Amino acid sequence: QVQLVESGGGLVQPGGSLRLSCAASGSIFRVNSMGWYRQAPGKQREWVATTFSGGSTNYADSVKGRFTISRDNAKNTVYLQMNSLKPEDTAVYYCNAVVAVLITKQTDYWGQGTQVTVSS
C-alpha cells in the first residue's frame, strides 16, 4: 500500500506564489513518475505537470513559465512551485504517483487534494 500526503495549499493574492509538496510512503519498489493535476468546480480534472524517473519534466500550456515541478528522490517527494498565480489557477490540486510496488507491477496512486485559492 502506498500513500501520498500533500501540503502547501491555501489562499494567495493574484501574482503571489505557493509551493505544494507531496510525499509518497509505503511499500515502494520504485517511483516511476510523480505529477500534479487540478480540478476546479464544474470542470474536469486537468493535468498540470509531471516529472519522470529519468529527470525530464512536462507542463501544461496553461502553466508553462509560471510553475516548476521538482523532485527529491531521497525523500520520495515532489514539489510544485507556483508563481504569478492567477484567479483561474484556483482549484483543488491533486498529487499523482505511478509506483512500481513490485518489479512487474505498476500502480497509480492519488493524494487527497489540497485547495489553492487565488483571490484578492
pLDDT digit string, tens, across residues 92-118: 999 999 988 888 888 999 999 999 999
- What is the average per-residue pLDDT within 75-86? 96
The residues, ordered by sequence, that sit 6+ positions from 55 with a Cβ below 8 Å of its Cβ are none
Please tell me the predicted confidence (pLDDT) of residue 1: 83
Beta-carbon-side half-sphere exposure of residue 117 (alpha carbons within 13 Å): 6
pLDDT at residue 85 greater than cutoff 90? yes
User: H helices of 3-120, where?
Assistant: none
The residues, ordered by sequence, that sit 6+ positions from 84 with a Cβ below 8 Å of its Cβ are 15, 17, 66
pLDDT at residue 62 greater than cutoff 90? yes
